[in-house]
Structure 1
Amino acid sequence: MQSQGIPFQDTGFFSNLIEDYLDQRDDLQPFYGRFPSLNAFKAQIEEKQSNFPKEHRAVVSEVLSEQYSGLQASVKTLGHIKALQDQKTFTVVTGHQLNLFTGPLYFVYKILSAVKLAQQLKEAYPDCHFVPVYWMASEDHDFEEINHFNFRGKEVRWNRGASGGVGRLDLEGLQAVFETFSADLGPGKRSDTLRNMFQSAYLEHSNLASATQYLANELFGHLGLVVLDADDARLKRLFTPHIENDLFKNLGYTTVGKSIEKLNALPGNYRIQVSPREINFFYLIEGLRNRLVAEGDGFSVVDSKIRFSETELREELRDHPERFSPNVTTRPLYQEVILPNLCYIGGGGELAYWLELKGFFEASDVPFPLLLLRNSALLMSRKQGQKLQKLNLTTADLFLDPDRLVEKRVREISELSIDFSPQKEHLIKQFKGLYDIASKTDKSFLGAVQAQEVKQLKGLERLEKRLLKAQKRKLNDEVSRVRDLQDALFPGGSLQERSRNFSEFYLDFGPELFQDLLEAFQPLDQEFSVFIF
């Protein structure tokens, strides 16, 4: 496997907020605390160790032991679960939705980033233990975002009605999905492996959370990954004081709102990712996950007949903490309260909303984790790598806007020079003489000279564009090859990892794919990786 790294900032696929974060701009520093580096983890370990209750460790270990009781967990994973009771054990967390058959490829990159960072931390701090954790978004309720994946240009979709937290959904209708996917896989040993994996996950489990946990364990359990479903009353009970602060004091709304105001005041023109609500919790019961809102002197659940007085809501929280489901504002806090976590690994959009939360964490007296942009990658076959070489393109060229890439290539291979800079310079020199004459006469003549210069320079620019267009037509075969390669590697003009599923590459490259990626990834380098297999 050949590999090359490109700085995230040079890809054109990340927001200016994330680019400025990676550049460690001074005015963004108050929004994140420590920037991820091996040295920064020393202080993070000390802070978390002194601010994480030992009682929480026992509860988390107990919950995980139960959740893994029906799985064939690896020795590494079981060891990690047990080690969480030790005050020198810390987690590295990534989170993701319960996408059907993992969904887009970056699911794999997130988890491998967490595994690799945990390994690197162990080498740097051998006296501590580091556990890679995949936090399942089992309480999410946006079924349309997770009910499909793409396979060889075809969407594989699970059609059914859904309500409530997606992790609790039964798996009705997935037999038909399996049959369709199985037929598309075709024959072969690798196809059989994927077929059996899908069948065991989705046809032999009772709900989507257990199916996803099984699948993640099958794919990454040998690496020691721990999969956590936080939809559990015991874990929610640990979070109860913070739920109260949000329900009755609107702490998330006030603190995050202030952070957003400060971000908006910065010169970066940053796009705000999420806005807090006065209450940042849903009410979660079977078949329902709807927002809690203050109403009159009490509370209600949106689009339902459920109502509470303040006293009743406090009693409900005390008796049934599992019914209070955090939204995007409070979920990160929940994670950091129940886990001895050091670092959250996420995509650009995720890190953008985490950067709004530091003030909320400070007001909640919870250490804010390091934020690490997950590894990203572009996977190319050897044949595609050869095409890239024949076209005399660099891997960095592939990240150019399609029109700019074609223009660059046409200019390089055209027998005619499509750069009219010499002509423009010659024209400017000619007008310099006219300006000398104009300086000795009235202003009206000077204005005429200026207008004529602008007109002729624009004329040269138009001719240059027409020549480029003509050469594109003449070199159409070359242009088509460039476009075809870029379209294949960037489906729909977007990153490959945002649409394609791991199964396609598993068929092409085999089970060694994950190990190769794990060895190549360097999470703290903050680079986009291009791999040729």
Structure 2
Amino acid sequence: MNVVPERLPANQPLAERYMNDFASVSSLYNMNVTDPQTWIQRAAWLDQQEHSRIERGALVDCLTQYNLTHNEHEAVQQSLKLLRQPDTLTMVGGQQSGLFTGPLLVIYKVVTLILSARHASEQLGRPVVPVFWIAGEDHDWDEVNHTYLPDEDGQAVRIRMEHERGGHSPVSRTVITEQHIAQVLRQFEGLLPDTEHKSEWIAELDRCMRQSDNLSSAFARQLGRLFGRFGLVLLDSDAPQLRELEKPVFRQIIEQNDRLTEAYLAASREVRDAGYDEQATVAEDGANLFYIHTDEVYTAERLLLFKRDGHFTDRKGLVTFTKEELLELVEQHPERFSNNVLTRPLMQESLFPVLGTILGTGEIAYWALTRQAFQTLGLQMPPIVPRMSFTVVEDKIQQLLIRFELSFDDIRERFAHIRQEWLEAQEDYNLDQRFAELKRQFAALYAPFVEGLAEVDSSLPHIADTNQHKIEAQIDYLHRKSLHAVEKQHEVGLRRLDRIAYSLYPFGKPQERTINSYYYIGRYGERWLDQLLSLEPDLNGGHRLLYM
């Protein structure tokens, strides 16, 4: 594998500035991850705050129980033993669960997490354990129920798990059946390329899915299968055992809710004043907390809470609580509560000695809203390590790039124009020029002819004008048909061009946001992951082309 740095602008202006000009946005964040002193200062602060976090032993007990079920590996058990020690720190990153691990960016986030933990441990001379936070509490089923694999022409095809209950319940509580599993596994197997590794990985995916009753559990088993050997510790944020430990933090969020809202609103104004759009909604009456309500048919619905008339309620008014009632419910039923995107960072910080957190560009942008909220609860915003970014360039795609003399930027920025230019260069008929000349000559002949008709009848020019539009429309139709005929003559070349774009920038988006990781794991096996984890970490989250 040959690795070549290649710029890929972030899809969020604020994240782009964070990664490439930190000084200009430093007031919105806390520490510059490229400064070695950042890690020393952060570690010292965490050591001083050990007493303020959830008790370490209880947390490790909870993580041990979860990982023995989903991620049983000797290296993981070693990580958990280290985490019991008071000098062990963590690197934390997370994602909502995805079908068959979801798009490549999930794998790249894990790779960044492991490499960053390894790098920090070497720099500080103390253990740093990688922890991956699975957001099982998230309830957007349509975000996690599908994935994409290329078909035989290279075009990405969506594979989707249909579910009658998906959409309102946390993903960790949305039960999947053998029927759901068989449906998507059939589609996935049909599209996964035939390689020496295919049968092995299909069997693995089948095993992980059938041992799970929800997508979060299957996701954890799949990540454990791929990364457990590197000591990656997993957690599901919706695990009941974890919720029990989180009760003191939920109490703080409820008791300090008005101050937290003020902090989020102040940060929102600060972001706007700096010239950026907020990447998460900050409502003046928002409680930034979810309540999971179970109706009469035992369907769990995750409701976002708001503050109205001294009470906490949801938009539909399905539930209404006083602050005292909410605090009592936290004590009795912590499993009914979950964070939103703005309070989740506070929960993470309250649980773990977070040396740094791994975030994608969208997450970096909305974390700018949280710095003052950390301070409100007596916490410190952790350093943010941008997720590393990659585009895999397979050998056949590399050959096509050379053949057509194209670069990655050509595909990303101007592919449609290049495709049209190439087609025009192939045909000798000069169709655009000839049809343009035909329309010019027609107009030149038609105009004086119509003027003469006015002497016969004054209404005829109007009819002639309508007729002219119809004739020009027919000329345009013949032009399009002629161009289509030329495309048919050169469809092999066009297919090759399209295959480059399908592979490197499907649907006009970065490859890592679309294509499923098992497309490449199936092709190259686990040695591909080994190669990724042998790279030097890039604390700026730079993008690289991986020539296979």
Q: Same fold (TM over 0.5)?
A: yes
Does structure 2 conserve the Cα–Cα contact (< 8 Å) formed by 1:17 and 1:270? yes
Question: The residue matched to 1:73 in structure 2 has which SS?
Answer: coil
Q: Structure 1's 295 and 44: CA in aligned 2 closer, same or farther, altered over 3 A?
A: same
Does structure 2 conserve the Cα–Cα contact (< 8 Å) formed by 1:73 and 1:217? yes
Does structure 1 conserve the Cα–Cα contact (< 8 Å) formed by 2:90 and 2:353? yes
Structure 2 match to 1:148: 146
Amino acid at match of 2:281: S
- Cα deviation for residue 337 of structure 1 reads 0.8
Counterparts of 2:19 and 2:306, CA distance in 1: 37
Q: Structure 1's 385 and 60: CA in aligned 2 closer, same or farther, altered over 3 A?
A: same
Is 1:265 matched up with 2:270? no
Does structure 1 conserve the Cα–Cα contact (< 8 Å) formed by 2:292 and 2:337? yes
What are the superposed Cα offsets for residues 313-371 of structure 1, whole Å, 9 maximum, x if unpaired?
22112222222110111111111110111111121101100111111111111121111
Q: Which runs of 5+ in 1 are unaligned?
A: 414-469
Structure 2 match to 1:366: 379
What are the superposed Cα offsets for residues 412-459 of structure 1, whole Å, 9 maximum, x if unpaired?
99xxxxxxxxxxxxxxxxxxxxxxxxxxxxxxxxxxxxxxxxxxxxxx
Is 1:170 matched up with 2:168? no
What are the superposed Cα offsets for residues 262-294 of structure 1, whole Å, 9 maximum, x if unpaired?
11112xx32210022420111125512112233
Structure 2 match to 1:517: 532
Is 1:18 matched up with 2:15? yes
The answer to which of 240-249 and 512-521 deviates more is 240-249
Counterparts of 2:100 and 2:546, CA distance in 1: 23
Give aligned-pair identity as a percent: 24
Structure 2 match to 1:253: 261
What are the superposed Cα offsets for residues 185-218 of structure 1, whole Å, 9 maximum, x if unpaired?
4765411122112211111223333222211100
Amino acid at match of 1:399: R
Question: The residue matched to 1:88 in structure 2 has which SS?
Answer: coil
Amino acid at match of 2:322: S
Counterparts of 2:350 and 2:199, CA distance in 1: 42
Amino acid at match of 1:35: N
Does structure 2 conserve the Cα–Cα contact (< 8 Å) formed by 1:376 and 1:528? yes
- Cα deviation for residue 301 of structure 1 reads 4.1
Structure 2 length-normalised TM: 0.79
What are the superposed Cα offsets for residues 132-189 of structure 1, whole Å, 9 maximum, x if unpaired?
1110010000001101111222221111122321112212222222233334447654
What are the superposed Cα offsets for residues 470-522 of structure 1, whole Å, 9 maximum, x if unpaired?
9xx99x89887555423431111110111100111122222211111222352
Is 1:195 matched up with 2:208? no
Amino acid at match of 2:135: A
Counterparts of 2:323 and 2:71, CA distance in 1: 45
Counterparts of 2:539 and 2:193, CA distance in 1: 39
Corresponding pairs, count: 470
The answer to which of 485-494 and 64-73 deviates more is 64-73
Counterparts of 1:411 and 1:341, CA distance in 2: 57
Does structure 2 conserve the Cα–Cα contact (< 8 Å) formed by 1:282 and 1:289? yes
Question: The residue matched to 2:385 in structure 1 has which SS?
Answer: strand
Counterparts of 2:250 and 2:225, CA distance in 1: 34
Is 1:106 matched up with 2:105? yes
Counterparts of 1:184 and 1:98, CA distance in 2: 21
Query: What are the within-5 Å matches in structure 2 for residues 104-143 of structure 1?
Result: 104-126=103-125, 128-143=126-141
Which of 208, 211, 229 lines up with 1:222 in the alignment?
229
Query: What are the within-5 Å matches in structure 2 for residues 80-99 of structure 1?
Result: 80-99=79-98
Structure 1 length-normalised TM: 0.81
Counterparts of 2:340 and 2:361, CA distance in 1: 19
Counterparts of 1:312 and 1:488, CA distance in 2: 54
- Cα deviation for residue 409 of structure 1 reads 8.6
Q: Which runs of 5+ in 2 are unaligned?
A: 151-155, 295-299, 427-482
Structure 2 match to 1:68: 67
Structure 2 match to 1:430: none
- Cα deviation for residue 303 of structure 1 reads 3.7
Which of 319, 342, 357 lines up with 2:370 in the alignment?
357
Counterparts of 1:257 and 1:238, CA distance in 2: 29
Amino acid at match of 1:326: N
Does structure 1 conserve the Cα–Cα contact (< 8 Å) formed by 2:67 and 2:233? no
Q: Structure 1's 314 and 199: CA in aligned 2 closer, same or farther, altered over 3 A?
A: same
